[in-house]
Amino acid sequence: MTTSASHFWDAVAAGRIEIPYCETCRRYVFYPRAACPYCHAPLHCWIAVGGGGRLTGCTQVRRPAAPEWASRIPYWFCLVLLDEGVTVPAVFDAAAEQDQPAPGLRVVVEARPLWGRAALVAHPSPGEGRT
């Protein structure tokens, strides 16, 4: 049986960010679940999104979320408000940023392997210069 969460992570492992979309009330929904939290219609539609968005928050992780990541701490974990209007969690690309990434920073989220696991990884959007 495929659950909503397994569909999401299978897509991430294949390099895609797919977000559930409610065809009844025409909204994206995140986190993945069986029914729309707004109108309670069953969610059957998944739409691949581009990953563009803005950071809404960031925190430094000192206890790894996965055993494989233990040697990577500390790293930045962030929340990204995608252009589609849903917030997703992501690891901030450690190579891209040493200081705490600022809320509001324009980023691109990618689905790709990170430190041995499929993950959502955020990095500054091209052209998002620092002054």
Q: Give me the least distance between CB of 51 and Zn ion, in Å please.
A: 23
- Please give the single-letter amino acid code of residue 92: F
| C-beta of 44 vs 106, nearer to Zn ion | 44
Cα→Cα distances 88→2, 79, 84, 127, Å: 21, 6, 11, 22
| C-beta of 11 vs 22, nearer to Zn ion | 22
| C-beta of 19 vs 22, nearer to Zn ion | 22
Q: Give me the least distance between CB of 31 and Zn ion, in Å please.
A: 15
Indicate the pairing of strand 87-92 with strand 117-124: parallel
Please report, as ranges, the residues that interact with Zn ion according to CB under 5 A.
22, 24-25, 36, 38-39, 41
Q: Give me the least distance between CB of 85 and Zn ion, in Å please.
A: 13
Distance CA 86, CA 27 (A): 9
Q: Give me the least distance between CB of 84 and Zn ion, in Å please.
A: 14
What residues pair up with 59 in beta bridges, in sequence order? Answer: 77
- Please give the single-letter amino acid code of residue 50: G
| C-beta of 39 vs 96, nearer to Zn ion | 39
- Please give the single-letter amino acid code of residue 22: C
